[in-house]
Amino acid sequence: MAAIFNPFQMAQQQFDRVADMLQLDESVREYLRWPQKEFHFRIPVRMDNGSVRLFQGFRIQHNNARGPYKGGVRFHPSETVDGIRALATWMTWKCAVADIPLGGAKGGVVVDPAALSNGEKERLVRGWVQQMRKNIGPRQDVPAPDVGTNAQMMAWMMDEFSLLNGEYTPGVITGKPVGGGGSLGRTEATGYGVVYTTREAMRHLGIDGSKTRAAIQGFGNVAQYAAVAYKQILGGEVLCVSYWDYNDKRAYTISKERDFDPAFLLSITDQYGSVNKQKAQSAGYVFEDGGAWLSKDADVLIPAAMEGQIDAVNAKTISSRVKIIAEGANGPTTTEADEIIKARGIFLIPDFLCNSGGVTVSYLESVQNDMNYYWTKDEVLQKEDQILTEAFRTVLEVSLNEKVDLRDGAYMVAISRVIKAMQLRGWI
């Protein structure tokens, strides 16, 4: 029987590896291996049929040495507390590696959002805020959207917090709709950031992006805009994407040998990333098993779905053509798969560097909320590009100087920055 994947154990293993390299003091290690605070609560929701249903909710705050806790709220039916712990931990490193003044946190609710009506979703997100109102805020902890949540749900969260506190507080939540305190460019930010860092990797490796093809796992927000940006920014081709079909309750890989059009697929995709199968097939798209994306004959693999998707078994099926893996998701590659990928000489851009565009623009959204002045989309994306390019180059320099892979290099940068803030604040 295969061992059950535990993302928090993986997050700790990744940290421990670099902690050994940095020869960290044992007390500092223990401080950073575990979250500072955890909130577990039940949310009662009046359903449309009049019954009351209880939902399990979480908010886990890992570290705030560099600034207020920051991280999304995920709605997923198989969410676990260890999954949230891992994501909170990675958020600390993500903010630090991008050098933005925020800490790490993550929230979640165990629920299938596709099974709820809009009214039920609104009551659930407002209930989440009611449970957390004393422990979130613009200078305390700033939630954001994640898997299963969206801009509208963030607007409800912000409104509930404002109502409970008696004043309009747009900075309590990021990822809000434009016109409701949100930032232009936020929707595209994570996917574009994946491509910005991939572009920098290609420059380092001497690869012409316009001559490459990418295979993408997922077709939620991150994957959608990574696919669009791959064509727009790099001039490359997308070979396939995968997605979870909420009707069929299974994953599919959608491919097209020529003229794959991410914008067309976006136009026939619902809010949860499920593609209209009939319309896609009519346009010449082929549907395969959900895992087929990984073995496609692509130059770049972009896992942009969930944790633990590339493991010791399926990593061996990766095509010999693959030169770069850009981790659009959080924790998509297990530690065992990491070693296989490294041995094959594939250049891997680690998750908390590769997908840090979302939290970067979330930070820029908070800045705009504070100023009550909003930038154009081009200004926002230009600032994101500048921040992520600098982050990539800093990590690459450490990686080359210390003769470690990019994941270890990113951890070295992030951990060192968090420890420095802890020292300056007198915590250690």
- Rg over CA atoms, the chain: 20
Residue at token pair 């500072």 = 36
CB burial string 96-126: b at 16+ within 10 A, e below: bbbbbebbbbbbbbbbebbebeeebbbbbbb
Helix 151-165 and helix 118-132, axial crossing angle in degrees, nearest 10: 50
Report d(CA 181, CA 184) in Å as an integer. 10
State whether residue 186 is helix, strand or coil. coil
* Strand 324-326 relative to strand 347-349, pairing: parallel
Token code pair at residue 167: 């004043």
Report d(CA 80, CA 7) in Å as an integer. 10
Q: With a cut of 50, list the residues of the chain below it in pLDDT.
A: 1
Question: What pLDDT is attached to residue 248?
Answer: 80
Active centre residues (catalytic): 106
Determine how many CB atoms are found less than 10 A away from the CB of residue 193: 33
Q: Would you give the DSSP letter of residue 333?
A: B
Task: With beta carbons less than 8 A apart as the criterion, state whether 208 and 199 touch.
Answer: no
The helices-and-strands tally (H runs, E runs) of the chain is 14, 12
Q: Is this prediction's pTM over 0.95? A: no
Question: What pLDDT is attached to residue 3?
Answer: 61
Give the CA count within 13 Å in the CB-facing half-sphere of 196: 27
- What's domain 189-354's architecture? 3-Layer(aba) Sandwich (3.40)
**Which residues are CB-neighbours of 116 under 8 A, at least 6 positions away?**
124
Report d(CA 351, CA 335) in Å as an integer. 13
Q: Which DSSP string do the residues of 167-190 spell out, in sequence order?
A: S--GGG--SPPTTTT--TTTTTHH
The values of phi and psi at residue 69, to 5°, are -55, 145
**CA nearest to 217, candidates 331, 94, 347, 327:** 327
Q: Which segments of 166-243 does DSSP mark as H helices, in order?
A: 189-205, 221-232
Report d(CA 206, CA 175) in Å as an integer. 35
Give the CA count within 13 Å in the CB-facing half-sphere of 320: 0
Question: What pLDDT is attached to residue 1?
Answer: 43
**CA nearest to 353, candidates 38, 29, 14:** 14
Q: Does domain 37-172 have CATH number 3.40.50.12160?
A: no
Q: How far is CA 81 from the centre of its chain?
A: 17
Question: What pLDDT is attached to residue 355?
Answer: 95
Task: With beta carbons less than 8 A apart as the criterion, state whether 404 and 21 touch.
Answer: yes
